[in-house]
Amino acid sequence: MKSSKYIVLRRTSSVGRRYRFRKQYQMRQRIMNATVLIIALLAILLAISIPSVASHGEEPVRASCEAVQSVEIEQEPVPEPEPMTVTELIEFYADKNGVDYNLAYWVAFCESELKNVPNHEGSTYGQGIYQFVQTTWDARCEGDVWDIEANIDCGTKLLGLGELSHWQPYSGHCWLPKL
């Protein structure tokens, strides 16, 4: 009994080896055929792009390279990006400074209705989107108070630090119920 099982197993394993060797041989043949095909295509492309290399030496190659270098490529003008709206700037800086967008938006809306204007014409009170008093701006912020991005960046930084006291006494009744 043992000998017959051994023979069957041996026959099966030799058949498996033959099958495996045949598959490996077929794969090698496919790889060799693909390599020959790629080499032939490269040779054809080279012959088409530089037909006079073999007959005239290196001179035509230099001339063709110089001709390629002197060709100007027309580039389409890159359109300028659309300027960001105030709400997009608030969203960007709120995310950058780790502030809830709704808080940043409603404080700015209640302070200035998202307009970069003084509180009163010629007034020294609030200025810009977040209506900064000049002393607060000078102490806590950088840049020009009338620069919308600087104003929003500083406003969201202060909100991120939890400094709601700059706005709560004046406009808290407007934005607190909306949160």
- Identify whether 113 is part of a domain: yes
Task: Report if pTM > 0.75.
Answer: no
The pLDDT of residue 12 is 46
- Residue among 159, 161, 154, 151 at smallest CA distance from 179: 159
Residues 44 and 101 in one domain: no
Whether residues 94 and 54 fall in one domain: no
With 0-12 CB in 10 A as exposed, 13-18 as middle and 19+ as buried, what is 163? middle
Task: List pLDDT tens digits, range 66-92.
Answer: 544 555 667 777 777 778 889 999 999
Is residue 72 included in any domain, yes or no? no
Domain that holds residue 140: 86-178
Consecutive 10-residue averages of pLDDT for the chain (179 residues):
47 50 76 85 76 51 50 70 86 93 92 78 74 88 90 93 83 77
Residues 152 and 110 in one domain: yes
Is 51 in the same domain as 122?
no
| The predicted structure's pLDDT at residue 101 | 93
Same domain, 54 and 118: no
Single residue among 32, 65, 98 that ends a domain in this structure: 65
Please give the pLDDT value at position 124: 62
Same domain as 148, residue 103: yes
